[in-house]
């Protein structure tokens, strides 16, 4: 039991030291708004993404192809075999 208390104390001290070393007092934004933009006239835009469910290990890729008006031309989704969210995202590009 003593070891656990000591470890918690050491962790708290480390967290406090980390806060002291922060170069800026400005809050770090937690939300980044990204807006989809239409492609140039005569071009199509393909957006892809990957998804991984850690609870059941299922993963998949999907995508949407749109024209310069934002109209959907084609969409797809494919189940894939991956072992992490990062692997799924990397394979989706």
pLDDT tens track for 8-49 = 444 444 445 455 555 566 777 788 888 999 999 999 999 999
Beta bridge partners of 59: 52, 80
H-helix or E-strand spanning residue 15: helix 2-20
Q: Which pTM value belongs to this model?
A: 0.57
Q: What's the half-sphere exposure (Cβ side, CA atoms, 13 Å) at 30?
A: 1
């Amino acid at each position: 039991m003593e070891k656990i208390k000591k470890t918690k104390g050491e962790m708290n001290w480390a967290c406090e030291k980390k806060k002291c070393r922060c170069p800026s007092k400005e809050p770090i934004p937690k939300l980044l708004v990204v807006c989809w933009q239409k492609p140039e006239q005569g071009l199509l835009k393909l957006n892809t993404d990957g998804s991984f469910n850690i609870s059941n290990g299922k993963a998949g890729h999907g995508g949407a192809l749109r024209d310069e008006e934002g109209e959907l031309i084609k969409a797809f989704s494919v189940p894939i075999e991956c072992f992490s969210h990062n692997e799924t995202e990397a394979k989706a590009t």
